[in-house]
Structure formats: C-alpha cells, structure tokens
Amino acid sequence: MLEFLKSLFFGNRTIGEEIDPMKKYLVVGLGNIGNEYVETRHNIGFKILDALGDKEGFNFEPGRLGDIGSFKVKGRTVICLKPSTYMNLSGKAVKYWLDKEKVPLENLLVITDDINLPFGTIRLKTKGSDGGHNGLKSVQCLLQTTVYNRFRFGVGSDFAKGRQVDHVLGEWNAEEKSVLQERFKKSIELIESFVLSGVKNTMNDFNNT
C-alpha cells in the first residue's frame, strides 16, 4: 500500500517536486458502491474506469471518499476516481480530489449514465444542467458551476412512465451485454483523446459515435 501511495502521488519524481497542474487530469466515474449495484446501468462510470484500468495496467485502491488509481501517458498524469459516497453525494469526492491534487477544472471529466441518449451512444459536453441526475446535481452543487466536462453514456429510455429508477438501477439485458465490451473500448479511446487532444477535438471525433 505504501509503495502504491508513493507512486500515485509522487510517481517517478522526488518528494516536494511539483507536477505542472495543467498536465494533471481527474477522471471520475459515477456509480454506487455495493455488490448489488455492480452490473446496473447507473454504474456505467465505474465499469468504464475498470476497463480503463485493465488496459493501462493500474489497480484501484481505497482512498478518501473513493477508490483511486492512476496512470501516465505522454507526460500527463491521469487520476481516476470511483466515489464511495453513493451517487447522491458524488460531488464531495470530486471536490476533495480536485482540491487535493490541484487539478484545473478544465481537466476534470465526469462519466455518467444518461437516459436521454440511446443505449451505447457516447457524448462529451463541456457544460449543461444536471438533467435530473442526482450524481451530476451533487457535482454541480459542490463545484458551484455547471461548466465542467461530462462524458455521457446512453442507457436508453426503454421503460414505462414512472419506472426510471427501476431502469437505471436495473441490470444490463443480454442484448446490451453483447455490445458493452466494444463500447468500453470506444469509451477508453474518448478518455485518452480528452487527455491528449483536448475536449474540442474529442467532441468532434467521438460525439454520437
């Protein structure tokens, strides 16, 4: 654990040496902790970060207000966070790690499910309302702004009136599971593009793909 914490917060640099804040990124996957939520649509943020960890070869370890992992790519440090606060208090974890790591707000990316997009559709936005999403509502409240990057993953709206909660807290069906791995790959490409190419180029290349 000690070696992990050293590598997370100091990497290959000596203690006391500063990293250029503009080269630090915080990628947050929203979700709920607990085995009963692992395969639910609401936890797509956690699932995408797990897939990213598998690709980049890092593990998540318990930290303050969430599980933390990190990797480096072309001189940039990417800190990945899965809040342990439950969805409704996600903003507490986001604000804490932004402040602790001194990550510029423009280098924040929040991954969330979205019922207003067809299943599997991915869309990157730089601002907007919470759209009734409790995780985004908490982030907006704690950051006191609606201007932050969010990666919206469509989970569709195939549910009866008044059954929205059942849908997002329901598990993926067989058809959805059959294409999730391909969607995870595309999602990872979007995250890496966000870090390396910037938000505008990434929006042009990936929105609605």
Largest CA distance in the chain: 57
DSSP 84: S
DSSP 40: B
CA distances from residue 3 to 14, 66, 80 in whole angstroms, order as listed = 14, 19, 18
pTM of the model: 0.89
DSSP 88: G
Measured CA to CA, the distance from residue 13 to residue 16 in angstroms comes to 8
Q: How far apart are the first and last CA of the chain?
A: 39
- Listed by start position, the domains of the chain span 22-206
Q: What residues are labeled active site? A: 42
Q: Is residue 28 within 8 Å of 98, Cβ to Cβ?
A: no
Measure CA 145 to chain center.
Answer: 18
66-73 β-sheet, strand order: 61-63, 66-73, 76-83, 24-29, 108-114, 149-154, 122-125
Inform me whether the pLDDT recorded for 33 exceeds 80: yes
Summarised one tens digit per residue, pLDDT across range 159-183 is: 888 899 999 999 999 999 999 999 9
Summarised one tens digit per residue, pLDDT across range 1-29 is: 545 444 544 444 433 346 677 899 999 99
Inform me whether the pLDDT recorded for 97 exceeds 70: yes
Summarised one tens digit per residue, pLDDT across range 63-94 is: 999 999 999 999 999 999 999 999 999 999 99
**Domain at 22-206: CATH code:** 3.40.50.1470
